[in-house]
Amino acid sequence: MEGLTPTSALNLIPPNPENASTFIPTQPIDPPPPPPSTTAINATITTTLKPTDRTGSPPRKKIRRAIDDAKRRALRRYRAEHPRASQKELQQWFTDKFYHTISQLTISEILFTKYTHLDNDTRKDFKLKGQRTSKADYPDLEAALFKWQ
């Protein structure tokens, strides 16, 4: 058996008749390749998958929700009760209370003088929802249409 390498010697080993379940390879077995690193896997995933492939559905479009005057008035009243609250704290309060995230720019606009009429408004909250805040361009036409309904 001189001159045989260990892999070629495997081809010469006869099967064991006593134990039929024993597997003796007749061909040389290559060791399995080492597993790829996790960074290589992550790089492969991010380069091959499209945004729609990750979740199985297209990315969600951000839905814009209007802020009605009742929420604006609540924010202005909270600010009057807590004058030292920062806009970041007001933003967190608004999100916790109404489950609606708004930007600091929106908070600044709500606290501006444009909405000071809400401070003295005595209407109920349900009356402040979904109403126009601007005046009509043609008030006579609007009044006639309102009567006609």
Alpha-carbon distance values, 7 to 16, 29, 32, 102 (Å): 19, 8, 16, 70
Residue 105 lies in a domain: yes
Residue 85 lies in a domain: yes
For residue 127, give the amino acid letter.
K
Indicate if the pLDDT at residue 41 is higher than 90.
no
CATH number at residue 92: 1.10.10
pLDDT digits (tens, 9 = 90+) for 122-135: 777 766 776 555 67
pLDDT value for 15: 56
Residue 41 lies in a domain: no
Number of domains into which the chain is organized: 1
For residue 40, give the amino acid letter.
A
Residue 33 lies in a domain: no
Residue 77 lies in a domain: yes
Specify the pTM.
0.47
Q: What confidence category does residue 80 fall into, taking pLDDT thresholds of 50, 70 and 90?
A: very high
Report yes or no: 79 and 85 within 8 Å, Cβ to Cβ. yes
Q: Which range marks the domain in which residue 118 is found?
A: 69-131
For the chain, report the end-to-end CA distance as a whole number of angstroms: 108
**56 φψ region: left (φ > 0), alpha (ψ -120 to 50), beta (else):** left
Q: What confidence category does residue 65 fall into, taking pLDDT thresholds of 50, 70 and 90?
A: confident
Residue 127 lies in a domain: yes
Residue 129's nearest CA partner among 98, 108, 104 is: 98
Residue 96 lies in a domain: yes
pLDDT digits (tens, 9 = 90+) for 102-118: 999 999 999 988 888 88
Residue 104 lies in a domain: yes
Indicate if the pLDDT at residue 77 is higher than 80.
yes
pLDDT value for 49: 46
Site of tokens 């979904």: 130
Question: To the nearest whole number, what is the mean pLDDT of the chain?
Answer: 74
pLDDT value for 46: 47
Residue 110's nearest CA partner among 70, 63, 139 is: 70
pLDDT value for 143: 83
